[in-house]
Amino acid sequence: MVSCNDFLNVQPSDFISAEQLFSTQKGANTALTGVYNELNNSNLYGRYMINELDAMSNDLCWSAATSPSGIPCWAHSPADKQVMDIWAQLYVGIDRANVFLDNIDKVPNVTDANRQSMTAQAKFLRALFYYNLVQNWGAVPLKLTETLSPEDIHIPVSSAEVVFNAIHADLDSAIKYLPNRLEYTALEQSSRPSKTTAMALQARVYLRQAGVPFNIAPQDSYTQAAKFAGDVIASGIHSLNPSFKQVFVNLITDKYDNVYNENLMEVEFAYNDIYTNVAGFPSIGAPLKYNGVDIVLSGAANRTTRKLFKLYETNDSTVVSGTKTNHYPVAKDERRDWTIQNYILSGSNYGAAQTKPISYTGYKLDTSNPLNDAANVYYRDNLNEVTVQPGRYVGKWRRDYEATTTLTGYGSPCNFPLIRYSEVLLIFAEADVMAKNLVTNEALSAINQVRVRAKASSIAPNDSRAIDPALFILELRDERARELFGEGHRRHDLIRWGILNETFTNLPMDDGTISAWGRSIQGTKFLLLPYPERETSKNNAMKGIQNPGW
């Protein structure tokens, strides 16, 4: 006789236990790869955590819906699917890292150097996952061991400061044991964290905790941010690619830059027809229109704002005011016409809502529709052409450069730049000035390196922005918008600077594009995302708690 238990105790034939997985170095490598794989999930760097959350800013607006709904329109709730899925996916990554860290010491025949390197990589990734949790939700459950039973899910939140400290501890260990960049193979140098990658993330974390709503020991945090960013600069390993455009062409064409090493680390994507396994970022670089029809190629929904367009330095002083007769100022700053689309499409291979693989020869300027009509080209307003051409998309990721000849509407093999050297320079400039209340020569040099690469004017030593720390910081805020637009930073920048409310209060007069879909974002409610309903209903230790305003 066979009992029920005999059936219930049978494991699936493809089940691999942790004991089996960590019995060989090959298995350990597979487990570590599993931690990395969470980065390119569509809920994280594949799309939602970067794309939709970044639309909650003043340089992007969301135009995929006829009425406000969801995160991009500030119309989310604890029951919002993206709120729940981003949270859950980050914890999947954390648990995978915990499984690895709890078992790596059991693997036989691994050199100390390899074990230390693999452990450091897992700690870097866990720190990155927790950083994204704490900056979006604040106090969150802090779990540093693998989940072994259903009871392990009932974990109370730890304060933001405690979570930040855990992140710092992981990154300190990563900095100590990660290889130097050149110790990796050429193919690994951009896809795995090195010592300087961990230093750069440490600098970013300290900069974030210094600001709103955390305000954790601001003076010391700014000092630490400047210190770690300064260490990256002093290493001499990284520099700016002379061409801003080429940074993104390299990403699109799957070319690693091991000369300038501007990308300290990239999130890897490979060509795949399955949307969740490919990069979502080219989706916001979709074309403007074809034959008067709004193109939804790659799910494009984020449009740039006129405010962003006007931030870039031009070769004339004409003010763009929003009428159809505007002169179209020529950009001196080369970033503008690469960051913001300056083209429209012509051709016969396009239709609305492309979702199947297509072949095409690339973008072409439509000379029958001149680009000197500023109201048509770069922002949305109430003129008649709004239904034809409702504004520019992000131009950083352009599909005609892709190495593959078979394209899908919802994905691309384009890698995502997790940390760029230009960000490190701007972190240093900001943190150094904030820590010292003084514009140092080093801070001025850092911001000028970013500006000069873009062919924008450098800030002269006798310029008021080089003398007054407050004016310098105002300029730096604009510089981060110009340089890092579309890379997932702006919403968090506005929050940490304490200017989120005033920015959106003033946005209608600055830009005819959007006013957070008419939503009021005053007060503290939108400084953090709401705890997901799914978590507060299942985690007994979180029942009855919620972030302020939710």
- Whether residue 248 lies inside any domain: the answer is no
In-domain check, residue 518: yes
Measure the CA–CA gap between 358 and 298, rounded to whole angstroms.
Answer: 12
Pick from 23-37, 297-311, 400-414, 520-534 the range whose average pLDDT is largest.
23-37
Q: What is the pLDDT of residue 152?
A: 84
Contact (Cβ atoms closer than 8 angstroms) between residue 223 and residue 447? no
Sign of the torsion formed by the C-alpha atoms of 523, 527, 528 and 529: positive
303 DSSP assignment = E
Contact 460, 506 (CB under 8 A): no
Phi, psi of 227 (to 5 degrees): -65, -50
Q: Is the pLDDT of residue 434 over 80?
A: yes
Is 336 in the same domain as 368? yes
Higher pLDDT, 171 or 346: 171
Selection from 244, 204, 109 nearest residue 431 by Cα: 204
Question: Is residue 156 scored above 70 in pLDDT?
Answer: yes
Residue 298 has pLDDT above 60, yes or no: no
Rounded to an integer, what distance in angstroms lies between the CA atom of residue 148 and that of residue 437? 49
Interatomic CA distance for residues 28 and 115, integer angstroms:
10
Distance (Å) of CA 453 to CA 239, 381, 444, 478: 11, 33, 14, 16
When comparing pLDDT for 163 and 311, which is higher? 163
- 341 and 459 part of one domain: no
275-287 CB burial, b ≥16 within 10 A, e <16: bebbbbbbbbbbb
Residue 316 sits in the same domain as residue 204: no
Instruction: Tell me, yes or no, whether 126 lies in a domain.
Output: yes
Q: Which residues pair with 417 in a beta bridge?
A: 266
* Residue ranges with strand state E in 76-175: 140-141, 157-158
Mean pLDDT (whole number) for 268-272: 66
State which of 365, 390, 414 marks the end of a domain: 414
Q: What's the pLDDT at 399?
A: 64
Which residue segment(s) compose the domain that 443 sits in?
Answer: 420-527
Residue-averaged pLDDT of the chain: 79
- Predicted pLDDT of residue 51: 79
- Domain membership of residue 400 (yes or no) is yes
- In DSSP terms, 289 is beta-bridged to 294
Residue 273 lies in a domain: yes
Distance CA 102, CA 144 (A): 9
Q: Mark whether 401 and 276 lie in a shared domain.
A: yes
Phi and psi based region of residue 261 (left: phi greater than 0; alpha: psi -120 to 50; beta: remaining): left
pLDDT band at 365 (very low <50, low <70, confident <90, very high): very low
Are 75 and 32 found together in one domain?
Answer: yes
Position 356 pLDDT exceeds 60: no
State the Cα–Cα distance between residues 36 and 192, nearest whole angstrom.
9
Exposed, middle or buried, 442 (CB in 10 Å: 0-12/13-18/19+)? middle
The whole-number average pLDDT for the span 411-424 is 87
CA distances from 166 to 143, 217, 419, 527 (A): 10, 16, 21, 22
Count of Cβ atoms closer than 10 Å to residue 473 Cβ: 16
Residue bearing the bigger pLDDT, 40 or 464: 464
Evaluate whether 533 touches 89 at the Cβ level (below 8 Å): no
Under a CB-based contact definition with an 8 Å cutoff, are residues 428 and 226 in contact?
A: yes
> Do 189 and 286 fall into the same domain?
no
Task: Identify the domain boundary among 414, 432, 454.
Answer: 414
Shared-domain flag, residues 377 and 481: no
| Letter string b/e over residues 113-124, b meaning 16 or more CB atoms within 10 A of that residue's CB | ebbbbbbbbbbb
The string of pLDDT tens digits covering residues 74-98 is 889 999 999 999 999 999 999 999 9
pLDDT in tens, 22-62: 999 999 999 999 999 999 888 998 888 987 888 778 787 66
pTM of the model: 0.86
Closest residue by Cα to residue 118 from 133, 128, 103: 103
Please report, as a single letter, which amino acid is at residue 516: A
**In this structure, is the dihedral angle defined by the CA atoms of residues 141, 223, 189 and 253, taken in order, positive or negative?**
positive
As a whole number of angstroms, the distance between CA 218 and CA 156 comes to: 26
CATH of the domain at 514: 1.25.40.900
Domain finish residue from 379, 397, 414: 414
In a domain, 489, yes or no: yes
Of residues 250 and 67, more confidence is placed in 250
- Across the range 397-420, mean pLDDT stands at 71
Task: List, as one string, the DSSP characters of 151-215.
Answer: GGG--PEEPHHHHHHHHHHHHHHHHHHSPPGGGS-TTTTTTS--HHHHHHHHHHHHHHHHSTTT-
Quickly count: other Cβ atoms within 10 Å of residue 469's Cβ.
17
pLDDT at residue 159, as a whole number: 98
Tokens of 212: 């709103």
CATH number at residue 139: 1.25.40.390
Residues 22, 107 contacting (CB under 8 angstroms): yes
Token readout for 191 is 């896809």
Name the band, by pLDDT with cuts 50, 70 and 90, for residue 63: low
Whether 178 is covered by a domain: the verdict is yes
Cβ(442)–Cβ(428) below 8 Å = yes
* Most confident region among 14-18, 74-78, 138-142, 352-356 by mean pLDDT: 138-142
8 is written with which tokens?
């219930």
State residue 271's pLDDT score: 52
Percent of the chain with pLDDT over 70: 73
Residues 307 and 451 grouped into a single domain:
no
Helix %, strand %, coil % of the chain (to 5):
50, 5, 45
Assign residue 472 a region (left: φ > 0; alpha: ψ between -120 and 50; beta: otherwise). Answer: alpha
Enter the tokens of residue 348. 């016969």
5, part of any domain: no
Q: Are residues 40 and 148 part of one domain? A: yes
Per-residue pLDDT, averaged over 346-351, amounts to: 36
DSSP-assigned beta bridge partners for residue 124: none
Please give the Cα distance from 358 to 38 (Å, whole number). Answer: 28
Instruction: Provide the β-strand partners of residue 141.
Output: 157
Closest C-alpha among 169, 256, 160, 167 to residue 204: 167
For residue 208, pLDDT over 60 is answered with yes
**CA angle in degrees (0–180, nearest 5) for 435-490-44:** 115
Overall number of domains in the chain: 3
Reported confidence tier of residue 369, pLDDT bands at 50, 70, 90: very low
Q: How far apart are CA 233 and CA 428, in angstroms?
A: 9
Q: Please check whether residues 187 and 289 belong to one and the same domain.
A: no
Hey, is 304 helix, strand or coil? strand
Structure tokens at 512: 């005819």
Q: Which residue has the higher pLDDT, 444 or 20?
A: 444
| Residue 507 pLDDT | 65
Res 292: pLDDT: 21
